[in-house]
Amino acid sequence: MYASRTETTVEKKDLDWGNLGFGYMKTDYSYVCNYKNGAWEEGGLTTDHTVQLSECAGILHYCQECFEGLKAYTTANGDIVCFRPDLNAARMADSARRLVMPPFPEDKFVEAVKMVVEANAAWVPPFGSGAALYVRPLMFATGEVIGVKPADEYQFRILVTPVGPYFKGGDTAITITVADYDRAAPHGTGNIKAGLNYAMSLYPYEQAHKNGYAENLYLDSQTRTYVEETGGANVLLVAKDGTLVVPQSHTDSILPSITRRSLVVVARDILGMNVVERPVKFEEITNGDFVECGLCGTAAVISPVGHIKAEGVDVTFVDGAESSGPVMAKLRGTLTQIQSGDIEGPEGWVCKIC
């Protein structure tokens, strides 16, 4: 079932690295590991990129599934690295526990990421291309379940694929709207990376696109007065005095983005900025209290938001209306330089693969 890979000098694939989209491209290897009889097996690499399931598999009926997202990069000196995979391992374990799934061991998670990235080293875009190797760990119920209960068998996989920018406009500021729908219930599953959360956002996402918007901003579903996040990213705001304001959820409904947490450290400890993490009322945005806005996550790092428009809402972030404002540009530039090895980051942030 599992393939082996012999170490050789890696020759990169013949791709147009500078013009990659954000989509799936089959690579050489994936990683797979199964949970049966109360334990995770050894696991390893596979060249089979398909999944075979029973029609009664738990994932198909009760949506026991969670996933992660991280990237592998080529640094300035030619190393292939990942960014803080230990935090992805911990977050996936939290997601699994919330969905009554057996957490994949965190040390084994990191080793699996290293194994599959190194095996696909030829697919890791070269330094300076603006592209990366997207790494997608996922876990789902494979055991047969007909009554409403957790399954007893699961599969953990990691697929990798080379990708370009998430938003095609690059640093061009996007316009988003305010969703009429809710992303997550108070004290529900909004704080874990479960596929079901994203399924909830697909319809409003398509509606936003039809109306010319890049994304939806979700407000808290309890009062619809507080800023939460978009369908695929956390929100960052900059106040008029330069303070970085990071929205918090008093109902624990925001995904703890690894990129967001890293940017907070960059802002506070490296750039010396004033950072405030607190619940943010949407009326603060409509009142013009913020001069910059950005959406942050693994895929986009930071995508600048220039405008928010909806019925009765027309907000322009004056310092970032067309492209990243000075604060967002500095934050993004510093973090990407840490990720690529151009500047030294905090201990343990950059994990060398090979």
Q: Yes or no: say if 102 and 64 are a contact pair by the CB < 8 Å rule.
A: no
Q: Does residue 227 contact residue 233 with C-beta atoms inside 8 Å?
A: no
Q: Phi and psi for 251 in degrees, rounded to 5?
A: -110, 15
Residue 13 annotated to the active site: no
Count of all residues that appear for the chain in the document: 354
Residues 6 or more apart whose CB falls under 8 angstroms from that of 9 comprise none
Alpha carbon distance 27, 66 (integer Å) = 22
Task: Kindly name the residue from 12, 149, 193, 281 that is annotated as catalytic.
Answer: 193
What's the chain's Rg over C-alpha atoms? 20
Give the C-alpha separation, 230 to 181, whole Å: 11
- Terminal-to-terminal C-alpha distance of the chain: 25
Phi first, then psi: what are they for 301, rounded to 5°? 65, -85
Closest by CA to 332, choosing from 173, 163, 127, 123, is: 173
The residue whose two tokens read 């009889």 is 37
DSSP state of 194: B
Active site residues: 193
